[in-house]
């Protein structure tokens, strides 16, 4: 698997870079961003760093988090690499929809099984398997991984972490879509990508998965109380209820006055990185 560097910028004495590659899983060209902490420049042979994977929300690309969250400062201090993929397959020949909440920019981190989506829309496999293999092949990182995200990406982080506890040390999310089988965003996307069998939707529903989880990971969720999507789309109470029922170690935090924007993420991203560092940096 080969990659091409698109850009490279010094940031907090580390390197913020963007790459593109041909994805076999998604059958298209993809971009992703990587921040390497300053320790990587002086790392001796064999030294590797843990990775924090960030999944972004609807309409976003890899650039939103890279440019707005300010995560590089804490990552540089902690010695953690950041990997930020795009939110969907893109390009000529990739199916799309006029709505912002379906198609390009709205991959929902699942494997589509219906036309015209199934050829390209396999973001679950891309994030859980192909991208980590690529990153671990080309960068000085190890196989200690944490996963996090925002909104649709928070949904993706929770689902992928819950379904693959052996692959991650910890999970977190900002304002995640917690119960997509029961909200308009999820019902639209799941119906299009997965079809009418609502029982099959449950394998991509964080609340359902958390209620059944048998191998729990440390999990942190941050939710702003002034989030305009809180009640209709996000439904954090469903996740809290599921965690209580299964005894899942979920730390759910509600923050007064904060909305759904990157101002919220920037305010608490250091807390999330330090939360993950407790597990990523354990020997």
Q: Which of 151, 170, 172, 222 is catalytic?
A: 151
pLDDT confidence of residue 239: 98
Mean pLDDT to the nearest integer, 216-242: 98
Asked about 254 being catalytic, the answer comes back as no
Asked about 255 being catalytic, the answer comes back as no
> In a 10 Å sphere around its CB, with 0-12 CB exposed, 13-18 middle and 19+ buried, how is residue 98 labelled?
exposed
Give the three-state DSSP class for 223: strand
Rg of the chain over Cα atoms, rounded to whole angstroms, equals: 18
Note the pLDDT tens digit of each residue in 195-212.
999 999 999 999 999 999
Identify whether the C-beta of residue 161 lies closer than 8 Å to the C-beta of residue 217: yes
Note the pLDDT tens digit of each residue in 31-55.
999 999 999 887 666 789 999 999 9
pLDDT confidence of residue 43: 64
Note the pLDDT tens digit of each residue in 77-92.
999 999 999 999 999 9
Ranking 117-121, 246-250, 279-283 by mean pLDDT, the lowest is 279-283
Q: Which of 101, 170, 227, 272 is catalytic?
A: 227
Query: What's the rounded Cα separation, in Å, for the pair 95 and 83?
Result: 25
Q: Which of 120, 260, 272, 276 is catalytic?
A: 260
Identify whether the C-beta of residue 163 lies closer than 8 Å to the C-beta of residue 208: no
Asked about 21 being catalytic, the answer comes back as no
């Amino acid at each position: 698997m080969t990659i091409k560097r698109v850009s490279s910028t010094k940031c907090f004495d580390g390197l913020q870079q963007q790459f593109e590659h041909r994805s076999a899983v998604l059958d298209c060209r993809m971009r992703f961003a990587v921040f390497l902490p300053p320790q990587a420049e002086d790392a001796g042979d064999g030294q590797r760093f843990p990775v924090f994977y960030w999944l972004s929300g609807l309409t976003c690309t890899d650039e939103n988090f890279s440019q707005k969250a300010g995560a590089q400062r804490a990552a540089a201090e902690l010695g953690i690499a950041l990997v930020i993929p795009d939110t969907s397959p893109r390009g000529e020949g990739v199916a799309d929809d006029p709505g912002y909440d379906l198609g390009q920019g709205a991959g929902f981190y699942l494997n589509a099984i219906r036309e015209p989506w199934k050829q390209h829309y396999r973001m679950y496999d891309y994030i859980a398997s192909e991208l980590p293999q690529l990153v671990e092949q080309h960068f000085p990182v190890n196989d200690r991984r944490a996963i996090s995200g925002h909104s649709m990406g928070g949904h993706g982080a929770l689902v992928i972490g819950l379904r693959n506890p052996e692959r991650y040390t910890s999970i977190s999310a900002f304002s995640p879509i917690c119960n997509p089988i029961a909200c308009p965003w999820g019902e639209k996307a799941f119906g299009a990508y997965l079809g009418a069998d609502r029982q099959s939707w449950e394998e991509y529903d964080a609340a359902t998965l958390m209620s059944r989880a048998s191998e729990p990971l440390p999990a942190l969720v941050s939710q702003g109380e002034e989030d305009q999507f809180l009640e209709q789309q996000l439904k954090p109470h469903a996740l809290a209820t599921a965690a209580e029922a299964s005894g899942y170690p979920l730390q759910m935090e509600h923050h007064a006055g904060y909305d759904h924007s990157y101002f919220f993420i920037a305010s608490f991203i250091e807390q999330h990185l330090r939360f993950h560092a407790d597990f990523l940096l354990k020997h």
